[in-house]
C-alpha cells in the first residue's frame, strides 16, 4: 500500500510540474507574441532548471528531456522551431564542464550559461539584418510569405537604406499574411497583400523572394509555412533569387527526403493529432511544407550568408 501511495504522489507532483512548465510556456506566448517560439522554448527550459529540485545532474537532464517532450507534444506552437531550439539548448548544456560536483553550483552555472545563450540568440535578428542589407537594393520588389519576425526585422532595417516594395501572400489557413502587411505598413514600407493562388501571377514582377523559416534542416532545405514550396518552384521557374532569413538556432538535425517524409507532429497541431486519435490524418490540412535545397539561392543567418550546402557543414561541426 505504502508503495502505491508514493507512486501516486510522485505522479501528482510530475503532473503539477508539467502544468507549471506548460503554463510558463503559454504565458510567454500570450504576453510577448513577438518573441519567437524557439526562444520561448529555451526560456521555458531555463525556468525548468530554475524550479528543479533534482539531486543529481542525470536527474536534471531527465527532467529537461521530459520537458522537451512535453513542449513538442502538448503545445500547438510550431513544432520544428521548438524542436530545434530545445535540441541546441540541450547540446549547449551537455557541452558544459564543471569544476565542482555540487549540484546547486552546477545548476547555477547552467542557468548562467542558458542566459548567455539566450542573450546571444536575441541579438541574432539584428545581425541577420546587417548581413543581408546589401542584397536589398533601391527599387527592389520583394515577395514574402506569411508572417515572419526575422523578415520583418530585416526589412525594417533595410528600409533605412533603400526604398522597395513588398508583396505579402495572404497565407491561408490562418491569414497570417494580413498581420505581416499591417506591421510592414506601420514601419512605412509600401506593401500589398496578394492571394496565395496569385503567386505565379505576381512572380514576373518580383525581383527577389525573401522567406523566413520554421526550421532549416540538414540538407540545407527549409521547413516553413505551407505554400512556401509553391513559391520556391515558381521563383525557380522564373529565375528569381529565393533567399531565406533564419536564425542559426533554427538549424535542426533532421534530413527529410520529401514532403511525405515529414513527421506528423511537424505537419499538424498537437491538438489535431490528439483529436484524430491515431487515425488517418490525410483529410487534415498540413501546416508546413519542406522546400528542398535546390530551390534556395542563399540563407541569411547570424553566422553569415550561407549556401544551402554550408548548413550541413555547420551542423556537423557542432554535433561531431
Partner 1 sequence: MARLPTDVETEIDRFCNDIKRNTYTRSADLALATIFMFKKLIGESKWSNASELITLIRSQAHRLNQGQPVDSITFNITRRILKLIRDVSVRIIHGKNEGSDISLTLQAVLNDRAATSTFNDDDNENIEENLQPKTQQIRTNLPDSSAINNVEGEVSVQRLKPELMDDLNWYSSDIELSVKNLSQQALAHIHANELILTLGYSYTVEQFFKYAASKNRKFHVFILEHAPFFTGHKMAVNLSALNIPVTVVTDSAVFAIMARVNKILIGTRSLLANGGLTAKSGTYNLALAAKHYNVPLLVCAPTYKFSPTYLPSFDPVMCNTFPSPENILSYESIYQSSLDIVVPMHDYVPPELVTLIIGSGMGNAPSYVYRIVSELYSAEDNDLERLQKESLK
Residue 159 binds to partner 1 (criterion: CB under 8 A): no
Is residue 175 near partner 1 by the rule CB under 8 A? no
CA distance 113 to 265: 30
Whole-angstrom distance, CA of residue 142 vs CA of residue 19: 43
Coil, strand, or helix at residue 167?
A: strand
Strand order in the sheet with 222-225: 215-216, 222-225, 288-291
Residue 285 CB neighbours (<10 A): 11
Question: For partner 1, which is the closer residue by CB, 281 or 318?
Answer: 318
Q: Which residue of 29, 107, 127, 269 would you call a contact of partner 1, by CB under 8 A?
A: 127
The correct pick among 29, 113, 165, 269 for binding partner 1 (CB under 8 A) is 113
The answer to whether 180 and 229 have CB atoms below 8 angstroms apart is no
Under the criterion CB under 8 A, does residue 107 sit at the interface with partner 1? no
**275: nearest Cα among 266, 287, 288, 284:** 284
How many angstroms separate the most distant Cα atoms in the chain?
Answer: 76
**∠ CA 256-227-159, rounded to 5°:** 110
Q: Which of 32, 76, 185, 313 binds partner 1 (CB under 8 A)?
A: 313
The distance of closest approach from Cβ of residue 317 to partner 1 in the complex, given in angstroms and rounded to an integer, is: 6
Among 6, 53, 95, 279, binds partner 1 (CB under 8 A): 95
Give the one residue of 135, 229, 254, 266 binding partner 1; rule: CB under 8 A.
135
Q: Is 87 in the site for partner 1 (CB under 8 A)?
A: no
Judged by CB under 8 A, the number of residues near partner 1 is 43
Q: Which span (16-24, 52-60, 121-129, 276-284) binds partner 1, by CB under 8 A?
A: 121-129
Q: How far is the CB of 242 from partner 1 (least distance, A)?
A: 13
Q: How far is the CB of 197 from partner 1 (least distance, A)?
A: 28
Q: How many angstroms separate the CA atoms of 84 and 157, rounded?
A: 26
Q: CB of residue 207 vs partner 1: minimum separation in angstroms?
A: 7
∠ CA 124-126-129, rounded to 5°:
110
- Give strand pairing partners of 305: 300
CA distance 150 to 128: 8
- The residues in 245-274 that bind partner 1, with binding defined as CB under 8 A, are 248-249, 251
Name the grid cell of 29: 506566448
Residue of the chain from 71, 153, 211, 315 that contacts partner 1 (CB under 8 A): 315
Q: Which stretch binds partner 1 (CB under 8 A): 56-64, 87-95, 224-232, 270-278?
A: 87-95
C-alpha R_g of the chain: 21
Residue ranges binding partner 1 (CB under 8 A): 88, 91-92, 95-98, 109, 112-113, 116-117, 119-121, 123-124, 126-127, 130, 134-135, 137, 207, 241, 248-249, 251, 297-298, 302-307, 309-310, 313-315, 317-318
Amino acid at each position: 500500500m505504502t508503495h502505491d501511495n508514493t507512486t501516486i504522489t510522485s505522479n501528482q507532483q510530475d503532473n503539477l510540474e508539467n502544468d507549471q512548465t506548460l503554463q510558463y510556456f503559454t504565458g510567454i506566448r500570450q504576453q510577448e507574441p513577438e518573441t519567437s517560439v524557439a526562444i520561448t522554448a529555451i526560456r521555458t527550459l531555463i525556468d525548468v532548471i530554475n524550479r528543479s529540485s533534482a539531486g543529481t545532474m542525470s536527474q536534471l537532464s531527465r527532467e529537461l528531456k521530459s520537458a522537451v517532450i512535453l513542449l513538442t507534444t502538448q503545445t500547438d506552437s510550431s513544432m520544428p522551431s521548438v524542436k530545434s531550439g530545445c535540441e541546441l539548448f540541450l547540446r549547449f548544456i551537455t557541452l558544459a564542464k564543471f569544476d565542482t560536483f555540487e549540484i546547486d553550483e552546477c545548476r547555477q552555472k547552467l542557468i548562467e550559461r542558458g542566459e548567455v545563450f539566450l542573450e546571444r540568440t536575441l541579438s541574432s535578428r539584428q545581425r541577420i539584418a546587417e548581413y543581408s542589407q546589401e542584397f536589398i537594393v533601391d527599387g527592389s520588389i520583394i515577395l514574402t510569405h506569411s508572417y515572419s519576425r526575422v523578415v520583418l526585422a530585416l526589412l525594417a532595417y533595410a528600409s533605412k537604406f533603400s526604398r522597395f516594395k513588398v508583396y505579402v501572400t495572404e497565407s491561408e489557413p490562418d491569414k497570417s499574411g494580413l498581420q505581416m502587411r499591417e506591421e510592414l505598413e506601420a514601419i512605412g514600407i509600401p506593401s500589398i497583400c496578394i492571394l496565395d493562388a496569385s503567386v505565379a501571377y505576381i512572380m514576373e514582377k518580383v525581383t527577389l523572394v525573401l522567406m523566413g523559416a520554421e526550421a532549416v534542416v540538414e540538407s540545407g532545405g527549409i521547413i516553413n509555412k505551407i505554400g512556401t514550396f509553391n513559391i520556391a518552384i515558381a521563383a525557380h521557374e522564373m529565375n528569381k533569387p529565393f533567399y531565406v532569413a533564419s536564425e542559426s538556432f533554427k538549424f535542426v538535425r533532421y534530413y527529410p527526403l520529401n514532403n511525405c517524409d515529414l513527421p506528423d507532429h511537424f505537419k499538424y497541431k498537437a491538438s489535431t493529432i490528439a483529436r484524430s486519435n491515431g487515425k488517418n490524418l490525410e483529410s487534415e490540412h498540413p501546416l508546413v511544407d519542406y522546400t528542398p535545397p535546390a530551390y534556395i539561392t542563399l540563407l541569411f543567418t547570424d553566422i553569415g550568408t550561407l549556401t544551402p550546402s554550408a548548413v550541413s557543414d555547420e551542423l556537423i561541426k557542432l554535433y561531431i
